[in-house]
Structure 1
Amino acid sequence: MYMEKEVKKTHHTNPFEIGFAGAEDAYHQNPPCKGFNPRTYYEPWRDDSLTERFFSPRGRLGRLSFFIRSLVGWIVLLIWGSIMTNRLLDSFTNGMTGMIFHTVRTFSTVSYCEITLLFAIFIGFCAMQGMFVIRRLHDRDKSGRYCILLYLPYIGILFWLYLLFAKGTKGDNQYGPDPLTHLQ
């Protein structure tokens, strides 16, 4: 007796799951240009999770996105840094007067956990800014190795301003498609 193969039908609720032309993924639906590695192909419309937005070096980042994401990072760091600095200064002041006036409070009011948390958030901020710079360099069709310039005194500020005002390469490059093409 003749038996037909059972066809597995899937229902996709998100149009990006099947691509615009019905292909299973965007790589096969829209093949990249020469020089792309299919394992690292970047899809700008899938940049929706927090880790992809703030902690991934893949892909390209336009000038406005670079500025906004850097500004958000700086605001978070300034708020967190001012809270922790206030806490540390309060501890130093009360700790010193505590020694003079023989009160119970000393420097130990700030726990090592708070200091470790402050340091960890600062390291996370530096990593996040580094990822922004790498993605911005990718938009300029440059290697991410130049991001070390960001951490040099005085040169880092000039380098950040250069990245903020320099236009990215038009069209696709070896790091992914133009971040402005999906907005048009």
Structure 2
Amino acid sequence: MIEWYKKVVFENYANFKGRARRSEYWYFALANALISILLVVIGAVVGGIFGDALTGGIIGYVLFGLYTLATILPGLGVVVRRLHDVGKSGWFYLVAFIPFVGGIWILILFCTEGNRGPNQYGPDPKNEIEEINEIGKVELQ
């Protein structure tokens, strides 16, 4: 899980090109949720130490806000790459703003297996042989 998180946040910080496997997206989402919860809990613990729930709440939400700002671009990047994997444009994410059905539709797309083989957005991320061949082509040029 940590490897996928590091891949999204550090290696592909603002990368909106290519494709992302389901595991890359879901492990990032899980780690992101756990870290967010941890930051709010840290704020609550700090509030308990100082005996002031308001101070702890403010600290927790400031930490959470800073973390959210730091991870908003990698989060959008992995969403766009995940949509590319199922053959949709990154702009398709705006469907999520349709009340009721938009979020469900996006969730279904995030759970759907990506297109097999290369598509207009790049090679299949599950096909490691194809990735090795692409790396070899780049090195030879």
TM-score normalised according to structure 1 size: 0.51
The answer as to whether partners of 1:63 and 1:136 remain within 8 angstroms in 2 is yes
Match of 1:58 among 8, 13, 17: 17
Matched, 1:83 2:29: no
- What is the distance in 1 between the residues matched to 2:33 and 2:118? 30
Report how far residue 138 of structure 1 moved: 0.6
Report how far residue 48 of structure 1 moved: 5.5
Give per-residue Cα distances to partners, 1:100-158, cap 9 Å, x unaligned. xxxxxxx6x57x88765432212233433222210111111211112234567755642
The AA in structure 2 aligned to 1:142 is: K
Spell out the pairing of 1:36-47 with structure 2 (5 A cutoff). Answer: none
Report how far residue 172 of structure 1 moved: 1.0
The answer as to whether partners of 1:60 and 1:138 remain within 8 angstroms in 2 is yes
Q: Quote the residue 2:85 is aligned against.
A: 139
**Higher fraction of helix:** 2
Question: Moved runs in structure 1, 4+ residues, more than 6 A?
Answer: none
State the number of aligned residues.
125
- What is the distance in 1 between the residues matched to 2:16 and 2:89? 11
- What is the distance in 2 between the residues matched to 1:83 and 1:134? 31
- What is the distance in 1 between the residues matched to 2:122 and 2:71? 25
Change (3 A) 1:148 1:127: farther
In the alignment, structure 2 segments of 5+ residues that lack a partner are 1-5, 131-141
Q: Quote the residue 1:121 is aligned against.
A: 67
The AA in structure 1 aligned to 2:77 is: M
Match of 2:119 among 173, 177, 181: 173
In the alignment, structure 1 segments of 5+ residues that lack a partner are 1-46, 96-106
- What is the distance in 1 between the residues matched to 2:110 and 2:129? 19
- What is the distance in 1 between the residues matched to 2:112 and 2:90? 16
Match of 1:94 among 52, 67, 78: 52
Report how far residue 83 of structure 1 moved: 2.0
Change (3 A) 1:152 1:117: farther
